[in-house]
Every structure is written in C-alpha cells, then in structure tokens.
Amino acid sequence: MSMVPASGLSIHVEQLAPSEPASGAQHTAPTAVLIHGLALDTLASWYLTLAHPLAAAGFHVIMYDLRGHGHTERPPEGYALDNFVDDLAALLDALDITGPVHLFGNSFGGTIAFSYAARHPERVAAIVTVESMPPTATWLKLVPRWLGNATAYVRREYELAERNAGRRVRAGRWAKTIDEVLAATSLARDVPASRLPAEERIAAIGCPALCVFGGESNLVEVIPDVRRLLPQARIVIVPGQRHSVLVDQPNTIRDIVMRWLREHCGIRSDLQLTSIDQ
C-alpha cells in the first residue's frame, strides 16, 4: 500500500505498470487515472474490474481512494466538489504526471473527471465514465437523493441478507462504511453545496468521451444533459443494469471501454473481447 502526501492529505494510491512498457521517450505509456464514487466506494471497484485490462493494454494505471474513503485520510470537513478536483490535481503533481491523462470515473468519480477537464482541458486526453454526469444544476439537485438512496440500499441489503451469511457480512460492512463517512465528515452537507463550473467550461471540453449507463438506472434521465453539453460523447446503455453496472458486469464494461479506446484513442490491445451489442 502506497501513501502519497498531496493536497494536505495522506492519499492511498495504487499503481499498475503497463504489461509491455513502451521503449523510448517518444513512446511513453499513456496514463489512466481511475476515480471511484462516493460513500460506499473505494479504489477496489476499479482494481477488481478494469485496472488490470488497462495495464494489459499498455496503460500506466493510477488508482486512489478519495478523501475520507478507504485508506486515505479522513478530514472532518472539506468535501465540496472543488476539494476533490484539487486533490486530483495535487496528486498528479505529486506523482510527477505531466502529460495528458485518460480519466476514468465511476459515479461521482466521473463528475470529478469532468470538473477536472473543465478546469484543465489541456491535461486530459480522454474521459470514460460509468453512471456519471457532468457537474450541472441538474446533478446538484440529484445529489441528496443519491446519498439517501445509497443509505436506503444498504439497509435493504442488510434486511434481505438474513439467510445468506456472505451477503450479510458485505451489507454490514457497507452499512458501517457509509455510517462512518457520513457521521464523521461534512460530506452530506458539502457536496450538495458545491460550486459549479460554468456550463460553457464543460461544453468546451473537446477531448473524446465515453459515457456508459445502466438501462435501469435513474441516471438515464440525465442523458439529454450529457448529449447537450458533450455532443462528441459516445453514449452506451447497458440494458437491464442499474447504478452498480461496473461491478455487476465488469466484462461487459471492459469490452465497451476497450473497443472505444481502440476506435477513438488509438489504444492497441490484444485482449480477447466478446461480441456485445452496443
């Protein structure tokens, strides 16, 4: 486990080297930065799903726990969107990452990615998000509902797990995590009060973008906003899936992402992909 001092915090970072390191300065491996979601999530959701396929495709992969999550330091305050974007910028500086990066965001992690790109467009080569949307007024209105839904989901999982010991342990762990994060920090107050970038800054993001949604997710309702602000974005809907599509369907997400990286970012990969309907 690696702890990196950045943004006044001790940030838990995990890195994977590309399977076939590039030779020569002109062939430096591209960097993929994987950003997880709020409250229940940690870098593990990426480590167990897309991190290794990206490394196999030649990326230098960086994953980190957001402030207050996982093994990263948990300050009592400072959980507005700007704080998370500042953390990402400081972490890249601390790791001496100078070239444009490929940002991957799950849920709130995607909102961080879009916000960083709006602030530093020259430092972003591409954006891939799963169940995410840009930081807009619509997003801000939905945040309290999502936090409430996450808590309700954990409680429901715990109640349904009575006859499944493994499921009960997992649900109990989730309940403990979300209770600790929300009770010990100002996250539930700070995120909904976040300052938003001007929509023109979001619309000015010119890099390639892939946005994946679960067909049964409540986020399907925000797709028109994504299309309006990011007309260049490729939008893929995975039928029958909800907000947890990344961890529920990792192979499907891998195939969608790798095909898109080949087509739009020139990433070559020898990974065997399955046939999927996009």
Identify whether 102 is part of a domain. yes
Identify whether 58 is part of a domain. yes
The CATH number of residue 233's host domain is 3.40.50.1820
The whole-number pLDDT of residue 26 equals 46
Average pLDDT over residues 256-271: 84
The whole-number pLDDT of residue 147 equals 78
Identify whether 18 is part of a domain. yes
Identify whether 175 is part of a domain. no
Identify whether 257 is part of a domain. yes
- Condensed to tens digits (0 to 9), the pLDDT of residues 114-166 reads 999 999 999 999 999 999 999 999 999 988 887 766 655 555 544 555 555 55
Identify whether 179 is part of a domain. no
Identify whether 81 is part of a domain. yes
Total domains present in the chain: 1
Read off the pLDDT band of 216 (50, 70, 90).
very high
Read off the pLDDT band of 7 (50, 70, 90).
very high
Best CA proximity match to 139, nearest among 173, 164, 115, 168:
115
Identify whether 42 is part of a domain. yes
> Could you give the CA distance from residue 70 to residue 39 in angstroms, rounded to a whole number?
10
Stated pTM of the model: 0.89
Average pLDDT over residues 81-109: 97
What's the domain range around 23?
2-133+194-265
